[in-house]
Amino acid sequence: MIVYLINRVGQSLFVLSAMSLIVFVGIYVIGDPVQILVSPEASAEEIAQVRRNLGLDLSLPTQYLRFLSGATSGDLGSSFVYNESAIVVILRHFPATLELALAAMFIAIALGIPLGVWAGIRSETFSAKAIMAASTVGASLPTFWVGLILIMCFAVYLGWLPASGRGATRSVFGVELSIFTRDGLAHIILPALNLALFKVSLVIRLARAGAREIVGQEFIKFARATGQSPARIVLGHLLKNIMIPIVTVLGLEFGSVLAFSVVTERVFSWPGMGNLLVRSLFLLDRPIVVAYLMLTVVIFVVINFTVDVIYTFLDPRIRFSAKAG
């Protein structure tokens, strides 16, 4: 276990430093952030001054070494645009993205499992086929297009929900969250639905496959034979058995939900990390982009690790040694 852990951490550190180097060089190649940041009226001396202040007058290797030495002590540099620690700026945007991703996951499970199970146990009915067809179409729609359609329908046409932005927040353990206010909930529904779209299809497929497999198995037949009600069978036995793969897959997918929220955040003007990343990319705010990627790697490593650990608890047959290679 400890060997595995060390391996994992070592690998992640390698990934982190390689990625930071690539991004560092990449953004250096794109252009000069100073050109974008300074006013058109700025003189050559002013521009030189700004460059010095941001440390951009140094050679690229020196800049990178500076960054590395800062990074080892947890300092990923200061944003060129916000003049604050990049990690602080990102973490300020993090709760908005996190709650959006969690809400999307919740919707994916709440919609996907009942529909999938139904499609699995009644696989020959018309409704089951309709569900599967809808899930294929759902997975094929471009997210941003669906987002706009959602806004058109529910915000502009029906007027039920606000079209964009994040609602009022409330501080929960020091974190500003919007899902605990009425206004906040109203604001999160459409973007969360939009973000959940892909995952709903995924959950439907997983749940259907699981349900089909399990329906034929002995213990369900046995339960049915003992005269248990269908609802009880579904709830008690089926769900218990299909939840594990679904939760695992969703756990692994969580990172990609966080990443794909970029598009949804743009469509709904959601003030999250994705929006921040796109703006920073356009402004060449390198510290933010690098810190964002570092954070993503860390999140991924944590997720993968957690899933592995949960796995071993659920299924003792899986050994760490087998996964470490």
Partner 1 sequence: MAAKSASLIRARRLWTDTPFGEAAVSFFASRIATISFIVLVIICLGALLAPLIAPQNPYDLTKLSILDGELPPFSVGGDGFLFIAGTDDQGRDILSAILYGLRTSLSVGVISTSFALVFGLTMGLISGYFGGWVDAVIMRIVDLQLSFPAILIAMILLAVLGRGVDKVILALIIVQWAYYTRTIRGAALVERAKEYSEAARCLALSNARILFVHLLPNCLPPLIVIAVLQIGHAIALEAALSFLGLGVPVTEPSLGLLISNGQEYMLSGQYWLTVFPGVALLSTMVAVNLVGDQLRDVLNPRMKA
Partner 2 sequence: MRMVSSILSALCFFGVAGLHAQSQDLKIGTARTSTSADPHFFLMNANDELRHYAFESLVDVDESGDPKPRLAASWKLLDDKTWEFKLRDGVTFHDGRKFTAKDVIYSICRVRANVSAGSFARYVSQVAGANATDPLTLVIRTRAPYPLLLPEFSLWAIVPAPEDVGDLDIAVDGCGVKSFPTNADFDNLKFAIGTGSYAYTAYTVGGAAKFKRFDRYWGERPAWETVTIAPIEDASVRTAAFLAGDYQLIQGPTPSALTRIEQDAKYKTANAPTYDVRYLMFDTAREPSPQVTGTNGRNPFKDRRVREAVSKALNRPAIIERVLNGKGVAIANIQGPETFGFNHALKAVEFDIEGARKLMASAGYAEGFGVTLSVQLDTEASRVGQAVAQMLARIGIKVQLDSLPTSVFFQRRSTGDYSLYSYTVGARTGEMGTSLRVLLGTPKTHPGFGNINGGGYSNPDLDRLLVAAQAEMDDGKRRALLEDANRVMAEDHALALIYQRVDTWAFNSTIAYQPSISGYTLARDARLARRDR
Residues forming contacts to partner 1 in the complex (CB under 8 A) are 11-12, 14-15, 18-19, 23, 26-27, 29-30, 136-137, 139-145, 148, 152, 156, 255-256, 258-260, 262-263, 266, 277-278, 281-282, 289, 293, 296-297, 300-301
What is the three-class DSSP state of 134? helix
Q: Which one of 50-58, 102-110, 111-119, 313-321 is the stretch in contact with partner 2 (CB under 8 A)?
A: 50-58
Q: How far is CA 289 from the centre of its chain?
A: 16
**The entry of partner 2, partner 1, none that residue 293 binds, CB within 5 to 8 Å by partner kind:** partner 1
Closest to 11 in 3D by CA, of 323, 277, 316, 255: 323
Site string for partner 2, 157-196 (x = CB under 8 A): xxx-xxxxxx------------------------------
286 contacts partner 2 (rule: CB under 8 A): no
Distance CA 252, CA 248 (A): 6
Q: How many CB atoms lie within 10 A of CB 115?
A: 23
The correct pick among 91, 155, 243, 299 for binding partner 2 (CB under 8 A) is 155
Q: Which is nearer to partner 2, 106 or 160 (CB)?
A: 160
The correct pick among 129, 221, 279, 319 for binding partner 2 (CB under 8 A) is 279
Q: Which is nearer to partner 2, 135 or 275 (CB)?
A: 275
Q: How far is the CB of 104 from partner 1 (least distance, A)?
A: 14
Q: How many CB atoms lie within 10 A of CB 132?
A: 18
Dihedral angle sign, alpha carbons of residues 211, 213, 214, 215: positive
Q: DSSP for 186-226?
A: HHHHHHHHHHHHHHHHHHHHHHHHHHHHHHTSHHHHHHHHT
Element at 176 (helix H, strand E): strand 175-177
Distance CA 319, CA 309 (A): 10
Q: How far is the CB of 292 from partner 1 (least distance, A)?
A: 8
Q: How far is the CB of 183 from partner 2 (least distance, A)?
A: 11
Q: How far is the CB of 143 from partner 1 (least distance, A)?
A: 6
Q: Under rule CB under 8 A, which residues in 59-88 are in contact with partner 2?
A: 80-84
Distance CA 300, CA 296 (A): 6
At 177, phi and psi to the nearest 5? -120, 150
Q: Under rule CB under 8 A, which residues in 235-274 are in contact with partner 2?
A: 266-269, 271
41 contacts partner 2 (rule: CB under 8 A): yes
Name the amino acid, one letter, at 256. S
Residue owning tokens 């001054």: 49
The correct pick among 15, 19, 23, 50 for binding partner 2 (CB under 8 A) is 50
Binding site for partner 2 (CB under 8 A): 30-44, 46, 49-50, 53-54, 80-84, 89, 92-93, 148, 151-152, 155-159, 161-166, 266-269, 271, 275-276, 279, 281-284
